[in-house]
Structure 1
Amino acid sequence: MPDLRGKVAIITGASSGIGKGTAVEFAQLGAHLALTGRNLENLQATAKACVEAGTPEDKILVVTGDICDDEVRKNLVDQTAQKFGRIDVLVNNAGIGKFSDLETLDMAEYDRTMDVNVRSAVRLTQLCVPHLTKTKGAVVNVSSINGVRSMSGCLAYSMSKATLDQFTRCVALELASKQIRVNSVNPGVIPTDFFKTMGMPEEKIAQLMERCKTFHALGRPGEVSEVAKTIAFLASSDASFITGAQLSVDGGWHLMCPR
């Protein structure tokens, strides 16, 4: 089991889904946490779950705000460093998506998707580098199967995740001399509220969950905990010689071909 005792981790998009699951997993492993998202009530629920998982309440920082706001990003990094005296891990998890193809894509929607999914990760990583240099820390970017495999109907989201994967590889090389490791995880279908926020009706979500059994070689969708454990591994010293990797947590979807 990875050991994150005393490590300070920033987790974006921590109010739900993979972000919340990662926060709880990190808490179980002894990490001190800086959690951010837009929904204060949900963030407080995550913080409570982290306390129940083992992190003392005074070792959790909650920062609400829009991750696209540079003042929010700066405050997040500054407050984390001030409270804990260090930053060991950055998990760039915040993400949004909408269903659209080229002909129906609204460019404002495209800009917002790229802002949340890519620009925020780039800027936060940039702000954290001085701190991660001191701790020889790690960055884990939460990407998607959409960054690996081409599919229609979610163009901006897929483009953003492919960009995030390339960012991971490039920055892993740039920061290697500072002993900062940068990796990404690429989940397949994970049942969370994400599909609902993308605008998919409940009936369609249920159909997707059934149909996605054929997408994954293992014959089922994944679980939040399976992604969270992978992120924890990459953030820990157990992955000390891994950087620039894209770790698929997709039940083998990236290997599948239409038949």
Structure 2
Amino acid sequence: MEDTNRDFSSSQNPFQTMPRFSGKTVIITGSSNGIGRSAALLFAQDGANVTITGRNAERLEETRKLILKSGVSESHLNSVVADVTTSGGQDLLVKSTLDKFGKIHILVNNAGAGIPDATGATGTDQSIDVYHKTLQLNLQAVIEMTKKVKPHLMETKGEIINISSVAGQPRAQPDFMYYAIAKAALDQYTRSTAIDLIQYGIRVNSVSPGLVATGFVNAMGMPDAATQKLCDFMSSHKECIPALVAGQPEDIANIILFLADRKLSSYIIGQSIIADGGSTLVMGMQAHSFLDILKS
């Protein structure tokens, strides 16, 4: 006769699964706030060993405390104050991760920013120095981190997820063209490295967010009030965001985890998932109802 009194709780539950990133180690650059912070939290909660990093020690500590407060053990967390645009900072990230966790399975190249011109110039009036700094952070640092982590990902058959932007899509970005140039180049780098590295079992993909409510705009010199005003305007105009809502960091973080999960996304190679509430799908003439125009 069937035993109906079996205990299906705790470890005896045959339907219970291990956290999907248990035993995996991930490095997330730019994880002191925004998308990187959210991704670090989700990875850690899903069993991963996580190296978080950023230049701002205070904000990085906020990320560390947030993860620990969620119930994650200190033994699963490696916090490193470092500048990912420097060779020393990159080497510290890789070495400290290996020293604490032994292996590297996932690299999330999230660090990036639109760097403002000190004079307030935009477009073609921006200085060449801004161009160099923008590409160094948004492109060159990704290239250098990829090269340094490659041998370790070859060993683990790992994953690389780059964080690009809809600014890199084939639409003009006249105000902050250097940032757009860097992200367009990053998209091509993602495609090319994906084909180069898949022979070693390494998958490379990327995410291209649209407007997301993070500290991105603040980093360009805008105060909180101005940042909120921009988000409110964009999310209330369907020609800007058809979904009429600004993205949240966890919206993008969930896509990062999807691309890092080989069971779920194994056949996706060298692609960029656009997450923008529909922004890149509309033209100005499509953003308004023809019927409303005819009735007016």
Q: Give yes or no for contact 2:82–2:93 (8 Å, CA) kept in 1.
A: no
Q: Give yes or no for contact 2:51–2:77 (8 Å, CA) kept in 1.
A: yes
Q: How many residues align?
A: 259
Sort the Cα spacing of 1:203 and 1:43 in 2 relative to 1 into closer, same or farther, 3 A: closer
Aligned to 2:199: 177
Please say if 1:157 is aligned against 2:182: no
Give TM-score, length-normalised by structure 1.
0.95
Post-superposition offset of 1:98: 3.2
The match for 1:252 among 259, 273, 278 is 278
Deviations 1:117-161 (A, max 9, x none): 111100001111111011111000011110113322111111111
Mean Cα deviation higher: 191-200 or 222-231: 191-200
Sort the Cα spacing of 1:83 and 1:4 in 2 relative to 1 into closer, same or farther, 3 A: same
The match for 2:241 among 213, 216, 219 is 216
Q: Distance in 1 between matches of 2:52 and 2:172?
A: 32
Aligned to 2:251: 226
Mean Cα deviation higher: 2-11 or 241-250: 2-11
Amino acid at match of 1:229: N
Q: Distance in 2 between matches of 1:51 and 1:203?
A: 30
Aligned to 2:288: none
Please say if 1:19 is aligned against 2:36: yes
Q: Distance in 1 between matches of 2:249 and 2:185?
A: 23
Please say if 1:64 is aligned against 2:81: yes
Post-superposition offset of 1:108: 1.1
Q: Give yes or no for contact 1:11–1:92 (8 Å, CA) kept in 2.
A: yes
Q: Give yes or no for contact 2:207–2:273 (8 Å, CA) kept in 1.
A: yes
Mean Cα deviation higher: 38-47 or 9-18: 38-47
Give the alignment of 1:1-259 within 5 angstroms.
3-99=20-116, 100-148=121-169, 149-213=171-235, 214=238, 215-237=240-262, 238-259=264-285
Q: Give yes or no for contact 1:7–1:32 (8 Å, CA) kept in 2.
A: yes
Q: Give the share of equivalent positions with the same residue, in percent.
A: 37
Deviations 1:161-220 (A, max 9, x none): 111111100000000111111011001101111111112244432332122122122121
Post-superposition offset of 1:102: 3.4
**3-state SS, counterpart of residue 87 of structure 1:** coil
Amino acid at match of 2:21: L
Sort the Cα spacing of 1:258 and 1:39 in 2 relative to 1 into closer, same or farther, 3 A: same
Q: Give yes or no for contact 2:114–2:134 (8 Å, CA) kept in 1.
A: yes
Query: Which one has more relative contact order, counting CA pairs under 8 Å at least 6 apart?
Result: 1
RMSD, matched Cα: 1.6
User: For the pair shown, which has the larger CA radius of gyration, 1 or 2?
Assistant: 2
Q: Give yes or no for contact 2:55–2:81 (8 Å, CA) kept in 1.
A: yes
Unaligned residue ranges in structure 2 (runs of 5+): 1-16, 286-296
**3-state SS, counterpart of residue 22 of structure 1:** helix
Q: Distance in 2 between matches of 1:175 and 1:17?
A: 29
Q: Which runs of 4+ in 1 moved over 3 A?
A: 98-102, 201-204
**3-state SS, counterpart of residue 33 of structure 1:** strand
Give TM-score, length-normalised by structure 2.
0.84
Q: Distance in 2 between matches of 1:87 and 1:8?
A: 5
Amino acid at match of 2:156: T
Q: Distance in 2 between matches of 1:46 and 1:162?
A: 29
Unaligned residue ranges in structure 1 (runs of 5+): none
